[in-house]
Structure 1
Amino acid sequence: MKIKRMFIDGKWIDAQNGKTRTIINPYNQETIATAAEGDTSDAKAAIAAARKAFDQGEWPNTPAVERASIVQKIAELIERDKEELAELESLDTGKTLEESRWDMDDIAGVFRYYAEIVDQNSGEMIASPIPNSVSKVVHEPVGVCGQITPWNYPLLQASWKLAPALVTGNTLVMKPSEITPLTTVKIFELIEEAGVPAGVANLVLGPGNTVGSELSTNVEVDLISFTGGIETGKKIMQAASVNVKKLALELGGKNPNIVFADAEFETAVDQAMNAVFFHAGQICSAGTRLIIEESIHDNFIEALVERVKNIKIGNGFDEDTQMGPLISGEHLTKVENYVEAGKKEGATLVVGGKRPEDPALQDGFFYLPTIFTDCTTDMSIVQDEAFGPIITVEKFQTEEEAVNLANDSIYGLAGGVWTNDIVKAERCVSKMRMGTVWINEFNLYFPHAPWGGYKQSGIGRELGKLGLEEYTETKHIFHNTDPKPFNWF
């Protein structure tokens, strides 16, 4: 089996230590690839290549229109290889092939969006209050960017970082999750094919405690962008202080989904499922906290449970599969412990709460869609991010109570409100402390709108124009057009 290699300074190489890692399919634990397992030495080599390419290379000074053309080419190559990329993503993560195809469309869209808007970030003339002067603001690339991506949406999250970094003239070192590197390796093949110069985009495979740590602490790295767990994010934030790196952190969420009694009932039930059970709940914005108005609570739960029982679990490559496995045995154990904690805390388990009994699923990391009722915000299952196919249900009686429940969290990534009263909806979302709030929708995003969270869900924004600005420094240039002696002394 051909080893998936790293890409450093325009060359495909093995790890310096000679180590490799076996990549498995979470559906049945079969080996699907062998990947290089780099460490600190590989990270340092990649950083040195990126540093040289930024300080001595042409990429930062290449006209934005030329960089945009190359980024647009990457989008076209993604569309060309969409089916191969989707299959790799489903093999690597276990998600359904249909979900992976949607991801690839979105990923191509991200590259295309940033190729189209980069000229809108060229700068501006500002009115100077000083006579005989010209004043302007320009935006320049940050420098060398360290980028660390998660296992749940490997290539989607990579695209959110790669596209804006490249189009604004930065150089970069990317570290994907060591357990889901396959589509990231493929995208670097496309980056090379598109004509990105050697040293500009570098890929290092390996674990976070070596490769990720080096990216965070190395003083030659100017920016660190991380998507992942909150505890790791805190460590990266501390490590990055060594040279006061720019930081972009997306650290997950525990997202409320409020359903008022006047909501469209069937639609709200359907979307409450969609909000959680795509990709087995392994979504940072999953609406795992379902907050239901008391008057419709029992009917809503009854309808939801009946629907949940019919979710088809299985191989992501089977057309009738609606939900695949969890990513690993380690993560499956974490989800099981989370459910046991919910039982001990007094929540009522109404469906799921165990592994499936189907013999065909025993080799995979499957867990049944699960619903807990009688939940309160003092329970760990309401506060902690499970990252699995689990819904916790809380009740409310008043609008104020619903908003207070929704905000009772250390996280603030996303949330939803379901009601036919638009004035009430607007009142609620204006008080909800989250980076994205949907009205009569959940888990919708597009490249044009910024993505990120309040509170401990992170720092900064990806996507949208703000996602472009994360990868630039702002410089004010003042020009005195008629300099004269001041004669102060």
Structure 2
Amino acid sequence: MTHLTRFLNQIGGRPYESTTGRWLRSTNPFTGQDWAEVPLCGKDDVETAVEAAHLAFTRGPWPSLNPSGRGKLLRRLGDLVARDAEKLATIEVKDNGKLIAEMLGQLRYIPEWFYYFGGLADKIEGGVLPSDKTDVFAFTKQEPLGVVVAITPWNSPLLLLTWKLAPALAAGNTVVIKPSEFTSCSTLALMDLIKEAGFPNGVVNTVTGLGSEIGAALVEHPKVAKVAFTGGDTTGAAVYSEAARHIKHVTLELGGKSPNIIFADAKIDDAVKGAISGIFAASGQTCIAGSRLLVQRSVYDEVSARVVDFARSARLGNPLDGATQVGPITTQQQQEKVLHYIDIGRGEGARCLLGGGRPSAPELAQGWFVEPTIFGDVSNNMRIAREEIFGPVLSIIPFEDEVEAIAIANDSIYGLACGVWTSNIRRSFAMANAIRAGTVWVNTYRAVSFMAPFGGYKKSGIGRENGQAAINEYLQTKCIWINLGESVPNPFVLR
């Protein structure tokens, strides 16, 4: 029997299995073999984790720690992540099948979030208010919300957790993390570094298990003040609905069907690279995937042919091999979903220019691979152009001019991101202003930063992660009035 690496939760600063005594196995998407296991928690474990976080928020060293002290802990955690970047990246590759180059790049960048928000921790300020009441002094202060639940997806577990964890801790909250049941291992490995950094017991806790049971119990728990969720829009809507019933704060980073728009005056070499990056990097498993490639008709044939040629040369293989360019799909269920959408595209009459199935190479047979797939002559009313596939499937859509490009780009329930490729500076600004999306890239794609706010319009989400805007998502404003008068006026009249 193959030995499985065992990862444990941490609750209240101690290693924690589960009250169920059961385990979830993690399968390596490249080999199709189980390699690790994590606890399968139940509702009793949710109660334990939230109580630990609530206790840490209300008493003990964390609420008495000054903001500069919180910042020092965050910066120390950043140093530890940098030290263990290769170890954590390797765990993520085994867990979700993404390229080691991609995951190692993320892990080496993640410390910047802890440094940045560590620096912001003691820059949280209130203010003195002007007042029309001369005998009253009024001011505001910013306070943490309380217990924050972070529910994270399987595609970039630690990066997308860090987007929530760093500002939540900088603001003074405590956190319960629910990672995806498919990719929990790297999050549990990070908990060892959180303890090593010196965070007080209970400030950060984890509960692993099925989203339908554990996630729902966390969202409805009365001592949870906020839910920060990244995932699909259907699940996000359920989280939003349940949080609203209990009047909780939410941040939702949901799906996308992002347009990547190439004009005839673009540098075609760069635009083709941007098209490839937008959809085939990470095997298309990113919320910001540029899955709709809009190409101006005068260069449509040229761009389509060059994108197909470029994608055809992509090397599929072991994601731990630095030469691999396209890895497997993270879960077998998702692989089947992607293949089903490819069948839908063919049935809708789209022309399959490349791929369209599982690769035939015997060395890939055990993995959950889907060939880089490109459909041409797609219309925006087809399902493959409207629904999030979350895989390496590109739809190429022709357009005539700016007006039509904007109309097609905005004709979507989503509004997470957009790419624009042009040499015309006027067009750059015009398109950026007209596109209904939270992020617009001009002559680049998939650029993110700890300093730049990120989030969606429409069904792509609510709230913003990253940048100074993010920390405000984890704070609430208190207004304080101090009477400076000699006496209290008429108690029956509003002051």
Indicate whether the TM-score tops 0.5.
Answer: yes
Shift of 1:93: 1.2
> 1:26-65 counterparts in 2 under 5 A?
26-65=29-68
2:269 pairs, out of 266, 274, 280, with 266
Match of residue 375 from structure 1:
378
2:28 pairs, out of 10, 25, 42, with 25
Rounded Cα–Cα distance in structure 1 between residues aligned with 2:24 and 2:427:
53
1:474 pairs, out of 474, 477, 483, with 477
**2:425 is the alignment partner of 1:422:** yes
1:222 pairs, out of 225, 245, 264, with 225
> 1:149-160 counterparts in 2 under 5 A?
149-160=152-163
SS in 1 for 2:371: coil
SS in 2 for 1:391: strand
Shift of 1:129: 3.2
SS in 2 for 1:205: coil
- Which amino acid counterpart does residue 464 of structure 2 have in structure 1? R
- Which amino acid counterpart does residue 309 of structure 1 have in structure 2? R
Which aligned runs of 4 or more in structure 1 are off by greater than 6 angstroms? Answer: none
Shift of 1:487: 4.0
Match of residue 466 from structure 2:
463
Shift of 1:311: 0.1
Match of residue 81 from structure 2:
78
On the 8 A contact 1:313/1:323 being kept in 2, the answer is yes
The alignment's C-alpha RMSD in Å is: 1.2
On the 8 A contact 1:136/1:476 being kept in 2, the answer is yes
Aligned residues, how many? 489
Match of residue 196 from structure 1:
199
Match of residue 16 from structure 2:
13
Shift of 1:30: 2.1
On the 8 A contact 1:61/1:169 being kept in 2, the answer is no
Rounded Cα–Cα distance in structure 2 between residues aligned with 1:21 and 1:95:
20
TM superposition score normalised by structure 1 = 0.98
Deviations 1:206-244 (A, max 9, x none): 010111010111111110111001111111111112320
Rounded Cα–Cα distance in structure 2 between residues aligned with 1:126 and 1:35:
51
- Which amino acid counterpart does residue 248 of structure 1 have in structure 2? T
SS in 2 for 1:283: coil
Residues 56/348 of structure 1: CA separation in 2 closer, same or farther (3 Å cut): same
Residues 36/480 of structure 1: CA separation in 2 closer, same or farther (3 Å cut): same
- Which amino acid counterpart does residue 19 of structure 2 have in structure 1? Q
Residues 181/488 of structure 1: CA separation in 2 closer, same or farther (3 Å cut): closer
For structure 1, which segment, 348-357 or 470-479, has the greater mean C-alpha deviation from structure 2 after superposition? 470-479
1:142 pairs, out of 140, 145, 153, with 145
Match of residue 169 from structure 2:
166
SS in 1 for 2:418: strand
Identity, in percent, stands at 39
> 1:433-444 counterparts in 2 under 5 A?
433-444=436-447
Residues 50/295 of structure 1: CA separation in 2 closer, same or farther (3 Å cut): same
Shift of 1:484: 2.8
For structure 1, which segment, 115-124 or 126-135, has the greater mean C-alpha deviation from structure 2 after superposition? 126-135
Shift of 1:2: 4.7
Shift of 1:478: 2.4
1:341 pairs, out of 333, 339, 344, with 344
> 1:61-460 counterparts in 2 under 5 A?
61-460=64-463
On the 8 A contact 1:356/1:368 being kept in 2, the answer is yes
On the 8 A contact 1:79/1:105 being kept in 2, the answer is yes
Shift of 1:122: 2.3
Shift of 1:123: 1.9
- Which amino acid counterpart does residue 421 of structure 1 have in structure 2? N
Rounded Cα–Cα distance in structure 2 between residues aligned with 1:331 and 1:146:
25
Rounded Cα–Cα distance in structure 1 between residues aligned with 2:474 and 2:63:
12
Rounded Cα–Cα distance in structure 2 between residues aligned with 1:123 and 1:2:
48
For structure 1, which segment, 479-488 or 207-216, has the greater mean C-alpha deviation from structure 2 after superposition? 479-488
Rounded Cα–Cα distance in structure 2 between residues aligned with 1:12 and 1:46:
12
Shift of 1:300: 0.5
Rounded Cα–Cα distance in structure 1 between residues aligned with 2:245 and 2:224:
10
On the 8 A contact 2:145/2:475 being kept in 1, the answer is yes
SS in 2 for 1:444: coil
On the 8 A contact 1:413/1:435 being kept in 2, the answer is yes
On the 8 A contact 2:7/2:189 being kept in 1, the answer is no
Deviations 1:298-325 (A, max 9, x none): 0001111111100000001112101110
Rounded Cα–Cα distance in structure 1 between residues aligned with 2:486 and 2:426:
58
SS in 1 for 2:150: strand
Rounded Cα–Cα distance in structure 2 between residues aligned with 1:143 and 1:289:
40
Rounded Cα–Cα distance in structure 2 between residues aligned with 1:97 and 1:69:
30
Residues 58/299 of structure 1: CA separation in 2 closer, same or farther (3 Å cut): same
